[in-house]
């Protein structure tokens, strides 16, 4: 079985430690734990992870967050991954820091990365993990907030949060969407 795991974020050193790049961070952690490396590919950095008889194609689109759909579609087609085996990881300001919310389908909830993926795929019927980054910002400042770096206390807790999301990714491929949602959609 083959799965495509798309961690959304923005390329460039200035974005590396921002809240918006938590999707990249989770894939980096998965790669490091498995001693695999990302290689530059078309529209994305790509790594192949094997776990419990499954193949996970990890992609970090280099198209920037708001144009992620092109990379997702390209790698789904290239790797012949059906939409039910796609999982997209994004930040979410509607969830408290450290909370995960996994869904098998749904609206973009105002997230431009999810919006572009749905537009390019012509469907919202794909799994996603929304990772709570909190909402400690003034009205109208959400862009500055997601493009800013983690607070000191968040940075200390981030490894635990990333490990939790990494485990959810692996469980998606091994025990399925519904059981993974039951395990990880809690506080």
Q: What is the pLDDT of residues 141-165, one digit of tens each?
A: 788 888 889 999 999 999 999 999 9
* DSSP conformational letter for 18: B
Per-residue CA distances from 142 to 16, 84, 91, 137 (Å)? 18, 31, 12, 6
Q: What is the pLDDT of residues 69-128, one digit of tens each?
A: 999 999 999 999 999 999 999 999 989 999 999 999 999 888 999 999 999 999 999 999
Structural domains present in the chain:
2-184 (3.40.50.1470)
What residues act catalytically? 20
pTM of the model: 0.94
């Amino acid at each position: 079985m083959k799965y495509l795991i798309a961690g959304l974020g923005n390329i460039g050193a200035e974005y590396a430690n921002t809240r918006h790049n938590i999707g990249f961070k989770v894939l980096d952690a998965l790669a490091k734990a498995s001693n695999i490396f990302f290689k530059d590919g078309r529209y994305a950095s790509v790594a192949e992870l094997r776990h419990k008889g499954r193949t996970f194609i990890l992609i970090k689109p280099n198209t920037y967050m708001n144009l992620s759909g092109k990379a997702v579609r390209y790698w789904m087609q290239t790797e012949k991954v059906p939409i039910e085996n796609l999982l997209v990881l994004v930040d979410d300001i509607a969830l408290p820091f450290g909370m995960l919310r996994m869904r098998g389908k749904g609206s973009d909830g105002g997230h431009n990365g999810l919006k572009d993926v749905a537009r390019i795929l012509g469907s919202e019927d794909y799994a996603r993990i929304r990772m709570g980054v909190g909402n400690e910002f003034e009205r109208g400042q959400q862009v500055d907030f997601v493009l800013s770096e983690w607070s000191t206390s968040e940075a200390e807790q981030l490894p635990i949060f990333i490990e939790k999301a990494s485990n959810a990714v692996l469980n998606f491929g091994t025990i399925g969407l519904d059981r993974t949602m039951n395990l990880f959609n809690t506080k």
